[in-house]
Amino acid sequence: MFVDFVLLGGIEAYVGGAAVDLGHVRQRSVLAGLLVDANAPVPTARLVDRVWGDCPPQRAHATLYSYVSRLRLALATAAEKVHITRQSGSYVLAVDPSAVDLHRFRGLVGQARTADDGHAAVLFAQALALWRGDAFGDLDTPWFNVLRESWHRERTAAELDLTDLRLRLGRHAELLAALPARAEQHPLDERLAGQLMLALYRSGRRSDALAHYQNIQHRLSEELGTDPGPELQRLHQQILTTDAALAVRPATGTTAQLGTAMVPRQLPPPPGHFIGRAREIAELDKALNAGGAPGGTVVISTIGGIGGIGKTWLAGHWAHHNAAAFPDGQLHADLRGFSPLGDPASPAEVVQNFLHALGLAPTEMPVDLPGRVAMYRSLIADRRMLIVLDDARDTAQVLPLLPGTPSCTMLITSRRGLTGLITAHGARPLALDVVSEAEAREMLVHRLGSERVTEEPKAVATLLDYCAGLPLAIGVMSARAGIHPTFPLAALAEELHDRSARLDAFGTDDPTADLRAVLSSSYDALDTATARVFGLLGQSLGPDISLAAASALTALPVPEVRSHLRGLEGAHLIQEIRPGRYRMHDLVRLYAAERATQDQRREALESALRGLVDFYADTAHDGDRLLSPLRTPFGPDLPDVTRGALPLRDIETAMRWFEAEHLCLLDAHRFAMAQGHYRQAWQLAWSLDTFHWRQGNLDDRTAMLRATLAAEESMRDQTQRALAHRLLGRAHASQGRHAAALEHLRVALTLFEEADQAAGKAQTHLNLALAWEKHGDDRQALAHAIQNLRIRRTLDSPPREAEALNAVGWYHARLGHHRQSRSYCEEALVLCRRHHFREGEAFTLDSLGYLAHRTNEHALALERYDQALTLRRELGDAFEEADTLAKLGDIRDSLGQHAQACEAWEQARSLYRSQRRLRPAFQVEEKLARRGRFVS
DSSP conformation letters of 366-394: -SSHHHHHHHHHHHHTT---EEEEEEE--
CATH of domain 1-169: 1.10.10.10
Give which of 287, 298, 289, 293 is closest to 184, Cα–Cα: 293
CA distance 805 to 824: 5
> For the chain, where do the domains classified as CATH 1.10.10.10 start and end?
1-169, 527-600
DSSP code at position 703: H
d(CA 862, CA 873): 16
Helices (H), 136-176: 142-168, 172-175
Q: How far from 395 is each of 313, 344, 413, 415, 564, CA to CA, in Å?
A: 21, 13, 11, 12, 19
Interstrand relation of 12-15 and 3-6 (parallel, antiparallel or unpaired): antiparallel
CATH 3.40.50.300: which residues of the chain?
Answer: 278-431
Q: Which residues pair with 10 in a beta bridge?
A: 135
> DSSP letters of 311-338?
HHHHHHHHHHHTGGG-TT-EEEEE--TT
Instruction: Evaluate whether 900 touches 892 at the Cβ level (below 8 Å).
Output: yes
Residues contacting 544, CB < 8 A, separation 6+: 577, 581, 582, 583, 663, 664
Distance CA 870, CA 272 (A): 60
Q: pLDDT below 50 — which residues of the chain? A: 252-260, 294-295, 636, 639-642
The secondary structure of residue 56, as a DSSP letter, is: -
At the topology level, CATH places domain 527-600 in Arc Repressor Mutant, subunit A (1.10.10)
The 3-class SS string of 649-675 reads CCHHHHHHHHHHHHHHHHHHHHHHHHC
CA 831 – CA 827 distance, rounded (Å) = 7
Ranges of H-type helices in 498-599? 502-505, 515-523, 528-539, 547-554, 558-570, 586-599
CA-to-CA distance for 379 and 360, rounded, in angstroms? 10
Partners of residue 582 on adjacent β-strands: 545, 576
Q: How many CB atoms lie within 10 A of CB 94?
A: 13
* The dihedral formed by the CA atoms of 801, 805, 810 and 811, expressed in degrees to the nearest 10: 100
Spell out a b/e string for 737-753, using b for 16 or more CB atoms within 10 Å of the CB, else e: bbebbbebbebbbebbe
- What pTM was estimated for this model as a whole? 0.70
CB neighbours (10 Å) of residue 919?
Answer: 8
Selection from 500, 508, 446 nearest residue 472 by Cα: 508
pLDDT of residue 407: 85
Q: Using an 8 Å Cβ cutoff, are 522 and 307 in contact?
A: yes
CB of 295 closer than 8 Å to CB of 418? no
Give long-range contacts, CB 8 A cutoff, 24+ apart: 443-448.
443/275, 443/471, 443/474, 443/475, 443/478, 444/474, 444/477, 444/478, 446/273, 446/275, 447/475, 447/478, 447/479, 447/481, 447/482, 448/478, 448/481, 448/482
Residue positions counted in the chain: 936
- Check if the beta carbon of residue 452 is closer than 8 Å to that of residue 422: no
Q: Are 19 and 114 in contact (CB under 8 A)?
A: no
Q: Three-state SS for 396?
A: helix
Q: Please, which residues bridge with residue 333 across strands?
A: 389
The H or E element that residue 582 is part of is strand 581-583
**Within 10 Å of residue 636's Cβ, how many Cβ atoms?**
7
How far is 588 from 539, CA to CA, in rounded Å?
A: 11
Give, in order, the Cα–Cα distances in Å from 214 to each of 209, 217, 525: 9, 5, 62
Cβ neighbours of 436 (radius 10 Å) = 12
* 3-state DSSP assignment of residue 303: strand
Residue 162 DSSP code:
H
Angle at 446 between CA 442 and CA 450, to 5 degrees: 80
Give me the architecture of the 278-431 domain, per CATH: 3-Layer(aba) Sandwich (3.40)
The rounded distance, in Å, linking the Cα atoms of 119 and 500 is 64
Kind and range of the H or E run holding 19: strand 18-19
Query: Which residue, among 567, 692, 555, 561, has the nearest Cα to 614 in the 3D structure?
Result: 555
Identify residue 79 by its one-letter amino acid code: A
Q: How far apart are CA 220 and CA 250, in angstroms?
A: 35
The residues facing 413 across adjacent strands are 303
Decide: helix, strand or coil at residue 628. coil
